[in-house]
Chain A
């Protein structure tokens, strides 16, 4: 009574067995309450952090007059900066630009806060000069050439930046006095916090939290749960190789997890795009970053899914075996922040996925290291430091957080190549785990 088997094309073959197992798994996980609880908890955790991010983006960061030239010492109504430009004596109340003919109106003090902002060419590389004395307190001051060229590169009023190849980071800028000494704190801080948030949520939130905990709770039970409540008997008594069952279950699990990750990534991406700083309504540049985050998380859930499913198949209490792995990956994640180039990272899954995100951050924000060192320097007030003595530590807000979360790719090759290599390695790991998993499942004797 069996009709002669029709000519089989790929779709028909897939449609039959593998497709059946996948569809079954997706429907099963959709109807299970625990799936929604786990996805819900992930959503809540990430949205809390996003709320704080949006809240901090709306906050005003009060501008600080770093070089104090907006104050009016002599009380003649003219801020010191203006008096200096016009050569009048800031301490003497009588001498002020008002006495010139024609008299110059006094500026509002706010004009002289954040007046000498950074305007460095962020694409710079190697040792170059940058910086322009916007408020002219170095350029127009009538002081000798040597006073205007503290960093001895016989270019007046500039900043020397040099890139230390060995340590792979920018050394502290060596600036002439009064150049870029009063940066706009808000502009820098917002940008730095925005980038730090993106990296933090991308690395810790998505790749680590979602990337490890979703598979830990969802993938471990893929085969083991069927074995425990012995509904696996139905599936095993069918002409389907166990390798296909294993793959079908994994693809079904990914069918649930990947759309969730893409959706989460899209939502948070859009929110951060609109709420982010910068003149344009929507920061289109960050979308590249978000695609990398989603892609890295998808790969992480794939590899961990295979790993935890194999562990679950191996032993009844597979979750016990999974915990040390999760702890190891946590250690690797933290290590990748502090020492991105250490070779142990190559033995972890998280190392490679975080690489993808770091590489993307270098592509999307070209000169991250320079940006960070700029914030750390924070208009360090020209070496000598105004008012004598050492430099105040006035690194700008957000610079610390950004340097904590940003890190180099550690592979020493170009970012694009890093992404490609990392993806290949992750896929290779997934393939290996799949073979190991199906071999375990094949050898498993079921009571």
Chain B
């Protein structure tokens, strides 16, 4: 209940009245106009007229207000003798307030404008105030990860400055580095991308249920699939900035800085495309699992922690079984490993999962996404207008 002292009292009447301090001094003005006291309602002449469209309260069962009689006016019997009591305090003020209702004759844009509004609201929220408040920690972390994932582009630049080919082979654009940029496990896929996805997805739907803003969306002509679609697109777009854009910059830096000719570009482009596809798959999978978790829970943190638990939890489980019993089948359960396996085939680097073919990983990825999207759509379609 800690409202600040200086909240100007509501409603703020147009005429700025100066509220006197509560003084005890008795003023005895005989107010020229009678005190702003409601006039006593004039006694209407009440005719017991019974009109036709009254179904229930007909004339012979009159409204006697017996019930109100039973609830006595105050508990004391009224027979007390009048004795002395104490009290303090007095002031008075008047207020004039003029409200005029302005009609609006414009007409509303069709559906695409509404969807564009939702998308714009979420994406601009990252960059400037006034839109979806993503929260300071989220925005700081996003900026950090953006620069961290630019590291390989920067190092390529560096290798061109110092001209050392061994350094370049370590950081420059090649099959493994392109793959590493998107799907490398440490540090990107253990710290950067999953946590970015967790933070983005943390409140995007569950907060609507928490704050009740779902009533704002669904009491307006917005259908549920537009709602999900736009939220999905906005979260995916923000992740794409961090993963795909930096991949593109990395590739561009290599071309610009080393002055690569068309020949080089032609034969490295399919690898770049492969890495791009891998990145898109990663974003889609993380977003669908995350949004499904967000639509299920109400809290701000559980979807995020749930997503991290799923990605890292299944990965650790798979590693334990691999080390102990040398079986890789459990990797099918972990989203990261499926993505990595499919990514390796896309970029045609040396696969690290040799006990089963990459088609199994692709199948398991598709199944995961299907389940997540089903949960998401069924939960959102059952969302109430008011907070359930």
Chain A residues within 8 Å of B, Cβ to Cβ: 45, 48-49, 52-53, 55-56, 193, 196-197, 200, 204-205, 213, 317, 319-320, 323, 401, 404, 447
Contact = CB atoms under 8 A, between A and B. Distances in A.
Interface stretch (B10-18, B213-221, B316-324): B316-324
A151 to B, nearest CB: 34
B325 A48 contact: no
Contacts of A197: 324
A193 B325 contact: yes
B1 A447 contact: yes
B111 interface: no
B330 A48 contact: yes
Nearest to A320: B301
Nearest to B2: A447
A196 B324 CA distance: 7
B318 to A, nearest CB: 10
Contacts of A447: 1
B15 to A, nearest CB: 36
A52 B324 contact: yes
B320 A204 contact: yes
Nearest to B310: A41
A45 B317 contact: yes
A200 B325 CA distance: 12
Q: Which of B309, B321, B324 has the most CB of A within 10 A?
A: B324
A200 B317 contact: no
Given A200-B320, A319-B301, A56 B325 contact: yes
Contacts of B320: 49, 200, 204-205
A245 B327 CA distance: 48
Contacts of A320: 301
Nearest to B322: A52
B305 interface: yes
A401 B330 contact: no
B313 interface: yes
Interface of A is mostly: helix
A49 B317 contact: yes
A401 B1 CA distance: 59
B293 to A, nearest CB: 12
A350 B341 CA distance: 34
12 contacts: A45-B313, A49-B321, A52-B324, A53-B324, A53-B325, A55-B327, A196-B324, A205-B320, A317-B301, A319-B301, A401-B324, A447-B1
A404 B301 contact: no
Interface of B: 1, 301, 305, 309, 313, 317, 320-321, 323-325, 327, 330
Contacts of B327: 52, 55-56
A319 B305 contact: yes
Contacts of B325: 52-53, 55-56, 193
Contacts of B321: 48-49, 52
Contact of B317 (A48, A53, A196, A401): A48
A204 B323 CA distance: 13
Contacts, number: 39
Q: Which of B317, B321, B325, B330 has the most CB of A within 10 A?
A: B325
Nearest to A400: B323
Given A55-B325, A193-B324, A200-B320, 10 more contacts: A48-B321, A49-B317, A52-B324, A52-B327, A55-B327, A56-B327, A200-B324, A213-B309, A317-B301, A320-B301
Contacts of A200: 320, 324
A89 to B, nearest CB: 42
Given A319-B301, A319-B305, A404 B323 contact: yes
Closest 6 pairs between A and B when the two form their complex, measured CB to CB = A56-B325, A52-B325, A52-B321, A319-B301, A401-B324, A52-B327
A94 B260 CA distance: 73
Nearest to A447: B1
Contacts of A49: 317, 320-321, 324
A356 B234 CA distance: 50
Nearest to A319: B301
A193 B327 CA distance: 13
A320 B141 CA distance: 15
Contacts of B317: 45, 48-49
A14 to B, nearest CB: 34
Nearest to B323: A401
A196 to B, nearest CB: 6
Contacts of A323: 305
A9 B1 CA distance: 43
A332 to B, nearest CB: 16
Contacts of A48: 317, 321, 330
Contacts of A56: 324-325, 327
Contacts of A45: 313, 317
Contacts of B301: 317, 319-320
Nearest to A204: B320
Nearest to B308: A323
Nearest to A205: B320
Nearest to B137: A320
Nearest to B318: A48
Contacts of B309: 213
Contacts of A205: 320
Contacts of B323: 401, 404
Contacts of A55: 325, 327
Nearest to B297: A34
B5 to A, nearest CB: 18
A320 B54 CA distance: 61
A196 B305 CA distance: 30
Q: Which of B309, B321, B327, B330 has the most CB of A within 10 A?
A: B321
A422 to B, nearest CB: 24
A317 B325 CA distance: 40
A200 B323 CA distance: 10
A58 to B, nearest CB: 12
A323 B301 CA distance: 11
A320 B137 CA distance: 12
Contacts of B324: 49, 52-53, 56, 193, 196-197, 200, 401
